């Protein structure tokens, strides 16, 4: 099991929340390591999230919902 983390984007506000802007794959999708899976934003800074492992994705934080930087937004099993 590998966690998919919300990247840390803000040095000034490391505890600030961001938003999972887009999931490019569905819950239950089979992923290849390195594949683009999501895009997140904190304030006006955005970042891409790539699959950290091969496997099947479980999404914990739905598109458009807030999450803390560094928090788990999904897992790959």
Partner 1 sequence: MTATLTSRRLTTAKAIVEAIGDEMAADPNVIVLGEDVGAYGGIFSSTTGLLERFGPTRVLDTPISETAFIGLATGAAVEGLRPIVELMFVDFMGVCLDQIYNHMAKIHFESGGNVTVPVVLTTAVGGGYSDGAQHSQCLWGTFAHLPGLKVVVPSNPYDAKGLMTAAIRDDNPVVYMFHKGVLGLPWMAKNRRSTGEVPTDSYQVEIGKASVARRGTDVTVVTISLSVHHALDVAERLEADGISVEVIDLRSLVPLDRAAIRESVARTGRLVVVDEDYLSYGMSGEVIASVVEHDPRMLTRAPIRVAVPDVPIPYARELEYAVLPTTARIEAAIREVMPQ
Q: Which residues bind partner 1 (CB under 8 A)?
A: 19, 21-22, 24-25, 30, 32-33, 35-36, 39-41, 44, 46, 54-55, 64
What SS3 state is found at 9? Answer: coil
Cβ closest to partner 1, residue 16 vs residue 24: 24
Closer residue to partner 1 (CB): 65 or 72: 65
CB 34 within 8 A of CB 70: no
Q: Which of 5/53 has CB closer to partner 1?
A: 53
Please report how close the Cβ of residue 36 comes to partner 1 at its closest, in angstroms: 7
**What separation in angstroms does the CA of 46 have from each of 6, 19, 37, 68, 72?**
11, 9, 14, 14, 17
């Amino acid at each position: 099991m590998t966690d998919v983390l919300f990247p840390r984007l803000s040095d000034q506000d490391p505890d600030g929340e961001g938003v999972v802007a887009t999931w490019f794959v569905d819950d239950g999708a089979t992923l290849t390591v390195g594949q683009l899976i999501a895009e997140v934003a904190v304030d006006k800074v955005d970042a891409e999230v790539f699959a950290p492992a091969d496997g099947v994705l479980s999404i914990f934080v739905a598109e458009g919902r807030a999450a803390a930087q560094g928090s788990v937004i999904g897992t790959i099993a």
